[in-house]
Structure 1
Amino acid sequence: MLESQDDSFDPAQSPTIGVDFKTKVLTTDGNTVKLAIWDTAGQERFRTLTPSYYRGAQGAILVYDVTRKSTFVKLETWLDELNTYSTKSNIVKMVVGNKIDKQEDRQVSREEGIQFARRHQTLFIEASAKTKDGVQCAFEELVQKVIQTPGLWETEGGGDSILVSGQEVSAVPSCGGWRCNHFRGRSRNCYSIAIRSVHRAMVFATQGRKLKKEDMKILWDTRITAACEEHNFTYPLLQEGLARSNVLLNRKSLADLAAWEPRTFEALKNLAWKRVAQDGLPGVSDVGDPPAGVITRGMLK
């Protein structure tokens, strides 16, 4: 994910904990699309989060490591899970073989990958996050196919999305894969979909089991970050502005407001934005007065 979004590669990157996401604007065949790419952890304790991200997905990328045969074998499991939880019968699927820069360690041949893709009627490409070979092409081909597939652009339950799932992604050992919401502007709101998806995942994950506190914090931060970007803001500026305005809210409270009370969250954002703008902090332009009914200290506990 670092390679595709930030044009960077870190072989020592630690595994994903909980959920992470980045956005990417991509232009292909004259169509400009915006992707919010979700990277979910692959550890077994996070496995219950996965199904929440399949619903409404328009496309899926299943990624394996060509130097690890076990990740290729695991594709069958990911594909079965995708077929079980996907709500779109014509979802576009792509198989990507990663780490082709390590030819001397290859355990899965290109022919094996092609045969798997043909057998399951998916797109196929090999790539290397380290050398950048095939990374951009994979996203472009998937988006092109999604755009060309009739019916995929019909909204379902409030929005459209692309799910990207796989065993190992861009040489980062985040075995659970990527998740990606995809839209072409208009009335679609990618970040609102993302917020709802994270909340559904959190609710699903905590039914009958308990996540570690640090994992829950990461999920809360992800939800807040998505809500901030929806309003063209940043989480650090929100924290700073609220602190300077004497509004005291912990992670969980902010995350709940982001998911369940979007108008209240927007009012908080405007309050924070106005304060940091008045104080001359970098990264904020003059946005005028916040709307009526702004929440202040004492109203939220």
Structure 2
Amino acid sequence: MTTLAANKPAYDGQALDLTGKSGARAFKNTLATVLITLAFVLAMIPLIWILWTVVSKGYHLLFDANWWSQSQRGITVRREGGGAYHAIMGTLIMGLITAVIAVPIAILGAIYLVEYGKGTRLARAVSFMIDILTGVPSIVAALFIYAVWITIFGFNRVGFAVSLSLVLLMLPVVLRSTEEMLKLVPDELREASYALGVPKWKTILKVVVPTAFGGIITGVMLGLARVMGETAPLLILVGYSKNINLNPFDGFMGALPTMINQDRTELALQPAADRVWAAALTLILLVLALNLLARLVARFSAVKSK
């Protein structure tokens, strides 16, 4: 005891302070905080500017019940009236078809890359092709579907062809986001399931996917937001119709991006300008509503911790 007491360092009754910062460290910390805050503010300025411009110029028509229940049939660019029902339904139908095709393929592809194909040549090839597909412009995807759907098979320009081209744009977004979410699932959960004798496919279905479900849904919504505002596939693969057409396999269809494109050349006319801004705001609200719905689904479907 005497030896330990003799070797114990003396601090003169004062506690050792390890929380203080030197002058240089405090300056660097403050500088980094200021720069990060400034970068955030600079990034928010154009976003707020765009939102304010669209909302201030487009909210008037959204309070009109006809905007949500009527089409633009018989309405010219110089005439007021009509609504966006045909465009809203066309956008939702083509987006739904795109999601039905792209989401299962993307999720299954991500599961293969993370759970089954680690380090294999096929997995590297798939990953490489997804990287290439990520950078494909929307007009190139539309031209590819045009060459296959119309030139080779001889089908007509319809809404379903647009959905096929949008699948090529949505697929890499959903697959990459799902892949990252699956990688974040702790390996301990998989190993605990295997230790209980649960087969791998059931572990993926009952443990891995539910754990990453919230992130997967977020990726799906990002993919939908990516494709619902595309205009090039609509211009190439289906004509714009002012009438209500709910059949994606027959005839031209309206959509919010092509409705905006229809009136944008006549922005000097107030009725056309009002419809352009209102359609843009409707598209933003539509994407926002889908994101809120996805968050609710993810919240109520998430795995509950005991």
Report the TM-score range of the alignment, normalised by the length of the smaller protein. Answer: under 0.3
Higher-helix-fraction structure: 2
TM-score normalized by the length of structure 2: 0.23
Bigger relative contact order (CA 8 A; separation at least 6)? 2
TM-score (norm 1): 0.23
Tell me which structure has the larger Cα radius of gyration.
2
The answer to which structure has the higher strand fraction is 1
